[in-house]
Amino acid sequence: VTECRVVSVDRDRLDRIFRAHPSLALPMLQYLARTVRMLSSHVDNMSFLQADRRVARCLLTFQEETDGTLHCTHEELGAAVGVSRVTVSRVLSEFARRGFLETGYRSMRILDRGALIDFASQRED
């Protein structure tokens, strides 16, 4: 989608960079800690949350357009949270019935972000 440049950084090179610029070590550790927390959260969500909660949390991470529209397919959303397209369709229909969002072709629009946040953060019994 965008032009990128990939650089391989082996341990020796990283050691040289940190010796030359010690102030880079702390931001690198903070970045790695955030990444580990994010990945741990993903594993927890995939393992312990019901499908509807996983879908809600995933929707809340997507970048909305100015009118609140999200562009993604049911297949993409299902792949992101580890459920089938059929399950995503069922969950989104329920969210639409509750007034959380409205669905369209390859898109949806969040109507009540607060309610979706509340639903996503509810503890399961």
The packing angle between helices 51-61 and 85-98, to 10°, is 80
What are the tens digits of pLDDT across the range 39-75?
787 666 666 678 899 899 889 988 888 887 888 889 9
What are the tens digits of pLDDT across the range 71-106?
888 998 998 888 899 999 999 999 999 999 999 888
What are the tens digits of pLDDT across the range 105-123?
888 999 999 999 999 888 6
Strand spans (E) along the chain: 69-71, 101-104, 107-110
Q: From CA 63, how far away is CA 38, in angstroms rounded?
A: 17
